[in-house]
Structure 1
Amino acid sequence: MTAVLPGERATDRGGGTTADFADFVRMSLPGLLRYGHALTGNPHDSADLVQTVLEKVGSRWAAVLRKGEPLAYVRRSMANANTSRWRRRRREDLVAEFPDAVAAAGHDRLEHEPLWQALRALPPRQRAVVVLRFYDGLSEAEIADTLGVSPGTVKSQNSKAMATLRARLGDSA
């Protein structure tokens, strides 16, 4: 291991600098946490999701930089990781008996909001499309690039999600 002299930047094996990654995390973290919260439905799972994805991205930061658009790459990784988590958890949540109801000391203030409940009930890909479109303000092309799908898939997923949200929320939405 070589020492880093003052004024020099430490580089990882691929050529990207650790300082670049630290700057990226520092600037992107609030938005990634908001995006993760919208994907997962609560701030605790959001923090876990962001941390997991950033650990993986950080270990291959130079390769991510070479691909360009690191924020889009991280968002796509988050959507994929959340879908995998959701699939694993869906199988794990099936229990014969209900656990004892224990009131959580810190609960999510949005938990009982009708819009939030309807959003959380959407399938992961539809939720990701809605969040990226209306929460982050991305265009259909940017969403398609972020999620690695075609623009037509983005349109159809958004259409299905909006129809589901309208049905659950009624005409007032």
Structure 2
Amino acid sequence: MPENGRGFEAPDGFESFARASQRRLYRTAYLLCGDEEAARDLTQTTLAKLFQYWRRASAADNLDAYARTVLTRTYLAERRRRLRDLLLHSRADPRPAPEHADLRMTLLSALAGLPPKARAMVVLRYWEDLSVESVAELMRCSESTVKSQCSRSLARLRAELGEAHIYVTGS
């Protein structure tokens, strides 16, 4: 696949791009969703949107970045919709306190504790290894918002994971 994500303009261009990028999109979707089925659905929805607007997508300077943007924005839109539906149809019972005193949380369950936008920023910044500028542009916010959200989110993840982060960072 070309370095800049281009070269998929032929009639079978979408199919070639979908085959080449499906695993990468799925991995990012899985980190965002934390669930295999939801990640598959998000990946398929992203690919469907790319197919629908393939002429515009294939003209992008970086098709991989364009696909990642579609994936992230689709995830956030679905989370907002799901939250809105949940708030409309749920009772105002307080959530029970988490029971994880002796258990180490996995990365996915720790990420699940973050709000969707903060989770997306952490995944894009540290898993996808995007720059602060790229994440800010993708999320349509300022660079300082990305920095502060990521800082707060990482502090929260470290607090929830306890000493488990020592093994990840090698400190």
TM-score (norm 1): 0.72
Unaligned runs of 5+ in 2: 1-8, 92-103, 166-171
> Is the Cα contact below 8 Å between 1:17 and 1:62 reproduced in 2?
no
Q: In the TM superposition, what is the alpha-carbon distance from 1:23 to its structure 2 partner?
A: 1.5
1:83 is the counterpart of 2:65: no
Superposed, 1:7-46 pairs within 5 Å as 16-46=9-39
Q: Tell me how far apart the structure 1 counterparts of residues 149 and 46 of structure 2 sit (CA, whole Å).
A: 24
Output one character per residue of 1:39-90: Cα deviation in whole Å (capped at 9) or x when no partner.
1111111111111121111121121233321211221221111112112222
CA distance 1:25–1:17, change in 2 (3 Å):
same
> Using the alignment, how far apart are the partners of 2:105 and 2:163 within structure 1?
16
Structure 2 residue matching 1:18: 3-state secondary structure: coil
Aligned to 1:55: 48
Q: CA deviation at 1:172?
A: 4.3
Distance 2:39 2:160 in 1: 24
SS, match of residue 146 in structure 1: helix
| Contact 2:33 2:39 (8 Å CA) reproduced | yes
Q: What is the deviation of 1:136?
A: 2.0
Give the superposition deviation at 1:166: 1.9
User: Structure 1 residue 133 and structure 2 residue 125: aligned?
Assistant: yes
Question: What residue identity is the alignment partner of 1:72?
Answer: A
One-letter code of the match for 1:44?
E
Change (3 A) 1:66 1:150: farther
Over alpha carbons, which structure has the higher Rg? Answer: 1
CA-CA distance at 1:167 after TM superposition: 2.3
One-letter code aligned to 1:64: A
Gaps of 5+ in 1: 1-15, 97-111
Q: Which moved more, 1:125-134 or 1:26-35?
A: 125-134
Deviation track 1:5-54 (CA, whole Å, cap 9, x = no partner) reads xxxxxxxxxxx433222121111110100000011111111111111121
Matched, 1:160 2:120: no
1:63-78 → structure 2 map (5 Å cutoff): 63-78=56-71
Aligned-residue CA RMSD in angstroms? Answer: 2.6
| In 2, Cα distance between equivalents of 1:139 and 1:133 | 6
Contact preservation (8 Å) 1:79, 1:124: no
| Equivalent pair of 2:121/2:149 in contact (CA under 8 Å) | yes
TM-score (norm 2): 0.73
Percent identity between matched residues is 35
